[in-house]
Structure 1
Amino acid sequence: MSTIYLIRHCETTGQAPEAPLTPRGEEQAQRLCTQLFDLPIPHLISSPYRRALDSIQPLATALKLPVAQEEDLKERRLSAVPLDDWQDHLRRTFIDPDYTCPGGESSRIATKRITRVVEEALQQHDGSILVTHGNLLSLYLHSIDPTFGFEESLQLKNPDIFKVTRIQQQTIVEHLEAF
């Protein structure tokens, strides 16, 4: 049996890769540290986006662990151009995994990215924490449980925690309450 924890980052000031956490998000990161501190955590892996790194840094400091940055945990790019009806496009990507907006990344490609990281973590670092973003996390959850779709993705919180357990070839996902 192998277990990892997937975390959606804390509240942020924006969507740009360099966007910091809000003051509330900084408090959430401290509370996340307190909640996760007693888990047997050997490895921390994060999206390179600042909001993800800042979300896990208090725990990294408390545990005296480095945070490995993983490019494949960065947020999925829906489109290279602003879309007024972006939620309609996002909904469509849950139905058609190959649908791509101009300059965007399909759900299939984004799901492959996060799945690779999760699989490696499950094999190499039992108990690891991976910090990522809402849409990418939703796509991964959808790949395991097709009933987790667009509407469920809208219910994710900042932060949010999922425990992923692999028992032989079966993957079990539990939604944990943050604080």
Structure 2
Amino acid sequence: MVRHAEATGQQPDAPLTNKGESDAERLADFFHRKGIKHIVSSPFARAVATAKPTAEKLALRIKQDQRLQERVLCGKPADNWLELLESSFHDMDKQWPGGESSNQAKKRILAVVEEAAKTEEPTVIVSHGNLISLLLHTIDPQFGFQQWKQMQCPEVFHVDLVGQTITKIDLS
């Protein structure tokens, strides 16, 4: 699981920053000898741009999957979005107008990860911090809002659904 590299904003078409582009190249170097066979990405520009150098280096195509797009917390911008997000880790069924609950979002990403696991081939999945943190919470209920806040762009986790383990990968 890869949280996208640093972007210029949160809009679906927000490009990577110069640092984000450099980090995406570092990810390609990291994944180069890992035997990766598939790359699945959120369709948001920052996720695809994060995956692109790896795809090019490994001569793989990026499969874009709508289920990996960023979670919609609520239907309209909210000044207290951080507060809303934190509460969504405590009440996983809470749904604000126009948004999706944590459980709904978790179901989306879990379906993608389970499909990738069925191939039994190494797969890179690129998505967004909140969605990834909800997946990680499924495996480790201690992974919550505070851990989400500490996530970097990019961040890489090895997720083992069978063994129910999460390993944060050090890219330095």
Equivalent residue in structure 2 for 1:89, among 73, 84, 87: 84
Contact 1:52 1:131 in 2 (8 A): yes
The whole-number CA distance in structure 2 between the counterparts of 1:125 and 1:89 is 37
The whole-number CA distance in structure 1 between the counterparts of 2:86 and 2:161 is 28
Matched residue SS, 1:99: coil
The whole-number CA distance in structure 1 between the counterparts of 2:70 and 2:170 is 22
RMSD across aligned positions (CA): 0.9
> Which ranges in structure 1 are unaligned for 5 or more consecutive residues?
1-5
Equivalent residue in structure 2 for 1:32, among 27, 31, 40: 27
Aligned to 2:154: 159
Residues matched between the structures, number: 172
**When the two structures are superposed, what TM-score results if normalisation uses the length of structure 2?**
0.97
The whole-number CA distance in structure 2 between the counterparts of 1:88 and 1:126 is 39
> How far off is 1:102 after superposition?
1.9
Equivalent residue in structure 2 for 1:133, among 121, 128, 133: 128
Aligned to 1:3: none
The whole-number CA distance in structure 2 between the counterparts of 1:101 and 1:165 is 31
Matched residue SS, 2:79: coil
Equivalent residue in structure 2 for 1:110, among 105, 121, 145: 105
**Paired letter, 2:11:** A
**Paired letter, 1:140:** L
The whole-number CA distance in structure 2 between the counterparts of 1:121 and 1:129 is 9
Aligned to 2:115: 120
Matched residue SS, 1:13: coil
Equivalent residue in structure 1 for 2:5, among 4, 10, 15: 10
The whole-number CA distance in structure 2 between the counterparts of 1:107 and 1:45 is 21
Aligned to 1:67: 62
1:142 maps to 2:137 = yes
The whole-number CA distance in structure 2 between the counterparts of 1:49 and 1:178 is 23
Q: Percent identity?
A: 42
Aligned to 1:175: 168
Deviation string, structure 1 residues 101-159 (Cα, Å, up to 9, x no partner): 22111001000000000011011142100000000001111111110010111000000
Contact 1:8 1:134 in 2 (8 A): yes
**When the two structures are superposed, what TM-score results if normalisation uses the length of structure 1?**
0.93
